[in-house]
Amino acid sequence: MLIRQKPVIRSFQITPEHNYLNRRDFIGSTALAGTSLLFAPGCAGADDKTPAANPEVNSFEDITRYNNFYEFGLDKEDPAKLSGAFNTSPWSVTIDGEAEITGKFNFEDIIGPHAIEERIYRFRCVEAWSMVVPWNGISLSNVLQRFKPTSKAKFVAFETVYRPAEMPGQRRGVLDFPYREGLTIAEAMHPLTLLATGLYGVDLPGQNGAPLRLIVPWKYGFKSIKSIVRISFTETRPYTTWSDAMPAEYGFYANVNPEVDHPRWSQARERRIGSGLFAKKQPTLMFNGYGDEVASLYTGLDLTRHF
């Protein structure tokens, strides 16, 4: 059964599909800035006040051909080219840590009886570009609550599958694989946090993080870990790949924040993919436009230090 989620951001923020089809104008222009974008890990998502069938969402073809997934390669087109041998069935996820119910569960057990929702997300990358993707999935909180986390569970850690035979990028040693990420328990339980299982109403392709990936709408995309095989409830902050490997550049919280620049570029403005080299950039929205919903999660934190 498909349930359409009520959207929450504005239609003017959507990238028109015909513009996205011209994305190479923008992609090619990034070469003028040198190679500083090579190790930018990802982008973030946000809901949009548009029907899922709205033609302004990016096309399925382009969404599945332009990805950050270093397990397959550093180039944005590598995942589509090199993920053909990646096997996602059968699939299991280990649940462990501070929870009453733990163990190894197959894909169907993880999803459980919940109906699949349809949501539209605007991806916001640390490279200051964005696109629009219609995801399918369920609220992560619906999954986590079934395993009854204890009062000691302050964080939730995630781990990507490690299969260097099928994922050639893992053989290059660019990162400390397997890829790992984490959220506070409050972030993980927030109703906007999505466990995605598909896009455009079909199962996730391998290059997009099949069969399970995380989507956290108000954060930069490197928090949206792909091809999840482990979910752990922890009492202390877990290791996370980018923020621990390069803490000066990628913080644990990774909230979209126009006031905190990446050391090598500004995050104050963003450009829609396909808008062209000379298109005017738009101001970056705090929390990717979700301030009313999520700002209370960070009460008392200095977001210029806890970035």
Provide the pLDDT confidence category of residue 165 given band limits of 50, 70 and 90: very high
DSSP state string for 152-208: T--EEEEEE---TTT-GGGGTTSS-SSPEEEEEHHHHHSTT-EEEEEETTEEPPGGG
Give ∠ CA 192-16-19 in degrees, rounded to 5: 130
How far apart, in whole angstroms, are the C-alpha atoms of residue 307 and residue 304? 6
| SS3 category, 19 | helix
Residue reference for tokens 């382009």: 62
The answer to whether the beta carbons of residues 220 and 42 sit under 8 Å apart is: yes
Dihedral sign from CA coordinates of 94, 98, 102, 103: positive
Nearest to 179 by CA among 209, 143, 140: 209
Q: Supply 134's token pair.
A: 């219609």
- pLDDT tens, residue by residue, 199-221: 999 999 999 999 999 999 899 99
For the entire predicted model, the pTM comes to 0.85
Would strands 129-139 and 269-272 be described as parallel, antiparallel, or unpaired?
parallel
- pLDDT tens, residue by residue, 246-294: 999 999 999 999 999 999 999 999 877 766 667 788 899 999 888 999 9
How many CB atoms lie under 10 A from the CB of residue 24?
11
Provide the pLDDT confidence category of residue 114 given band limits of 50, 70 and 90: confident
What is the 8-class DSSP label of residue 296? G
How many CB atoms lie under 10 A from the CB of residue 75?
16
Domain spanning 2-298, CATH class: alpha beta
How many CB atoms lie under 10 A from the CB of residue 100?
9
Q: What is the mean pLDDT of the chain?
A: 84
Would strands 116-125 and 2-4 be described as parallel, antiparallel, or unpaired?
parallel
Return the bridge partners of 3, or none: 117
